[in-house]
């Protein structure tokens, strides 16, 4: 539920609304916001990761009185960062543009990889600059989980459909029949 508002905004926000809001001034403000958040997060003490997951009560986080305000501030900062990144998204298509179509797969399946990384102590953050390494790992996880192969084989779990596997199997069978006919000719 912690990340649901962002998926809901993504569902409601159209491409036209996003691209119509891209002006030079707004792009400059977006860059300023992202640079400011980076600088502030670099020079300030590390925020405990438990605040980012939303899986613990405010009392457990030792913030019974001000926990709601702190959570609201985190939501506000996260929303500013998300909209800043979206304003900077270019209009043209790139080789990785299609990865954005499979974000539900990333959202639902990344936990398996993350939990393994935690248990193996591969994702420790000892310094604020460790987040750069985590960003590279996150990009690799997003790329993998957005791939056609993961979508193909995870579709029955994520979408409760088998159309992708059925299409793949039909294409594979068609190619196999074609090769068989070629060899027998």
Give the pLDDT of residue 183: 67
Choose between 74 and 53: higher pLDDT.
Answer: 74
Give the pLDDT of residue 180: 64
**pTM to 2 decimals?**
0.60
For 11-65, the pLDDT digits (tens) are 787 777 777 777 889 899 999 999 999 898 888 877 777 777 777 788 888 888 8
Q: By CB neighbour count within 10 A (0-12 exposed, 13-18 middle, 19+ buried), where does 17 fall? A: exposed
Give the pLDDT of residue 33: 94
Cα dihedral 148→154→159→164 (10° resolution): 50
3 φ, ψ (degrees, to nearest 5): -95, -10
For 131-171, the pLDDT digits (tens) are 788 888 888 999 899 888 888 888 888 788 888 788 878 88
The residue to which tokens 């398996």 are assigned: 112
Cα dihedral 69→74→78→81 (10° resolution): 100
């Amino acid at each position: 539920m912690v990340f649901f508002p962002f998926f809901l905004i993504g569902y409601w926000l159209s491409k036209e609304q996003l691209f119509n809001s891209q002006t030079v001034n707004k792009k400059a403000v977006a860059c300023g916001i992202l640079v400011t958040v980076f600088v502030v997060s670099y020079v300030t003490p590390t925020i405990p990761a438990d605040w980012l997951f939303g899986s613990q009560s405010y009392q457990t986080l030792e913030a019974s009185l001000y926990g709601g305000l702190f959570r609201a501030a985190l939501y506000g900062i996260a929303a500013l960062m998300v909209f800043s990144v979206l304003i900077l998204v270019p209009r043209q298509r790139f080789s990785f543009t299609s990865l954005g179509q499979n974000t539900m797969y990333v959202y639902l399946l990344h936990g398996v990889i993350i939990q393994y990384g935690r248990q193996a102590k591969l994702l420790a953050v000892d310094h604020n600059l460790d987040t750069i390494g985590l960003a590279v790992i996150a990009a690799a996880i997003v790329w993998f989980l957005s791939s056609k192969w993961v979508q193909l084989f995870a579709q029955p779990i994520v979408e409760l459909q088998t159309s992708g596997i059925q299409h793949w199997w039909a294409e594979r069978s068609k190619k196999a029949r074609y090769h068989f006919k070629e060899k027998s000719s």
